[in-house]
Chain A
């Protein structure tokens, strides 16, 4: 299994809603990542978990809250988002921190 699975594929939410994005990999990878990507722009790093510990937070607003329940799962909890947070949210994993990333297909998020 060489896949990173993200759910849901699409999400529409209001600014007062609470929702969660989920990511799963079964490759035994020990590093997992959240990226945000706006249209026609490169992915922007948000968070990195290494061995289930948060190792990097790129000054992301607290309305985004990551969670790594175990080595295979990564969640991104969303609360009180703004319309400008609408974007494609990508999850990725790598065997260790300095190897190639495997990406999921992303969650296309729209905040109304």
Chain B
């Protein structure tokens, strides 16, 4: 069935280091992937997205990599800051239902000052 999952439920990194958050998906029909950040008491906030015709996309301090061969998605955060501490979710849209956005289980990122 359709599923989006993460390899690591928690991640602790030193301030200034780079962070890598991984996500596995099983639906080969998925063609649009999004990373969200959720801070305590808030709704998820869009970080970056990528469509299946790309394998890399960069934003400000963030990079998303998509490997369709192994159905793997990653979020790289450069020079991690205390404000990056949050739960990060990957989400996917499938070609079969454009309105349906399914979230993975999430990774909690903790930045050590």
Contact = CB atoms under 8 A, between A and B. Distances in A.
Do A and B share a complex?
Answer: yes
Interface of A: 4, 31, 33, 40-45, 48, 50, 55-56, 90, 92, 96-98, 100-106
Given A42-B103, A42-B105, A43-B103, A97 B44 contact: no
Contacts, number: 57
B80 interface: no
B93 A98 contact: yes
Interface stretch (B11-19, B55-63, B66-74, B94-102): B94-102
B100 A48 contact: yes
Max chain A C-beta neighbours (<10 A), residue from B42, B98, B104: B98
A100 B98 contact: no
10 contacts: A33-B99, A42-B106, A44-B103, A56-B97, A96-B98, A98-B93, A98-B98, A98-B99, A102-B46, A103-B45
B99 A100 contact: no
A36 to B, nearest CB: 11
Contacts of B42: 105-106
A103 B49 contact: no
A45 B46 contact: no
Contacts of A92: 43
Contact of B101 (A33, A41, A55, A104): A33
A98 B100 CA distance: 8
A45 B101 contact: yes
Contacts of A101: 34, 36, 44, 46, 91, 101
